[in-house]
Amino acid sequence: MPKVLITNGTIDGTWYEGKEGTVWDVKTTDASVYMLKNGHGRGVAMEDGELLYSQAEYRELGDINEIIQRQRDKAIDDLAKHAQTIVDLQDEKLRLQQEVDRARDKQKVELPREVAEAIEQLKNADLSSFGIMHFIDHISEVKNHQWHQPLRVLRKFTFLDTNQYTGGCELLMNALVNGYTVEPTARDKVKQLIEKWYTDPGDVTDAELYELSDGIIDLLQKSS
């Protein structure tokens, strides 16, 4: 059981006035007072006393402190492990998402720009992929609807069967399911070719590159 050593016996009006250096058994402590055992409610203000322990009590406190320290260290280690697990799971999620994105990119098909723009117009008008395929085959049902013109573009594409786009219907279905990229136009291809000639493409604007591309295409068309 701890004891309190009165270190300040000069406070007027306290029961321990003049009792500096005496030691008393402590029953309990609260936020600011050591309450005495058999003290009939008397206590010593913490700033006027010093808590003392026996050697055995000090050892017990040391053991308790060591247990608390070990528990705290274990809690910190567990928290660090859980934090690392969360980081590892987030990294794995990101890696899997990147693999999924790469797989999707590989499945994307290339569509002519006008076809891609028609799909976007219909998607923006809240027409589903199923609805697009349905109304391509039943275009007369939307003759006076805003969907009619972009559906005409897609209908023409789905029935296209040339060396360039064999099986337009299959291409369109793949595009609606797996996504698509837009086929570069002739001016895009010429622009890309011109960019390779520049040491620093930043020296020229896109508008200037397209202007030069259009000039080259126009010259070739006139020469052919």
142 within 8 A of 135, measured Cβ to Cβ = yes
Query: What pLDDT, on a 0 to 100 scale, did the predictor assign at position 58?
Result: 60
Q: How far, CA to CA in Å, does 162 sit from each of 24, 166, 202? A: 106, 5, 39
In the chain, beta strands by DSSP E: 3-6, 23-29, 33-36, 43-45, 49-52, 109-111, 180-182
Query: What pLDDT, on a 0 to 100 scale, did the predictor assign at position 121?
Result: 92
User: Tens of pLDDT along the chain (224 residues)?
Assistant: 688 888 998 888 898 989 898 988 888 888 789 888 887 788 899 888 888 876 666 677 677 778 888 888 888 888 888 888 888 888 888 888 888 777 777 778 889 889 999 999 999 988 899 999 888 888 888 887 888 899 989 988 887 544 555 577 888 888 998 889 888 877 777 777 777 666 565 667 777 777 777 777 776 676 65
Query: What pLDDT, on a 0 to 100 scale, did the predictor assign at position 55?
Result: 61
Query: What pLDDT, on a 0 to 100 scale, did the predictor assign at position 119?
Result: 94
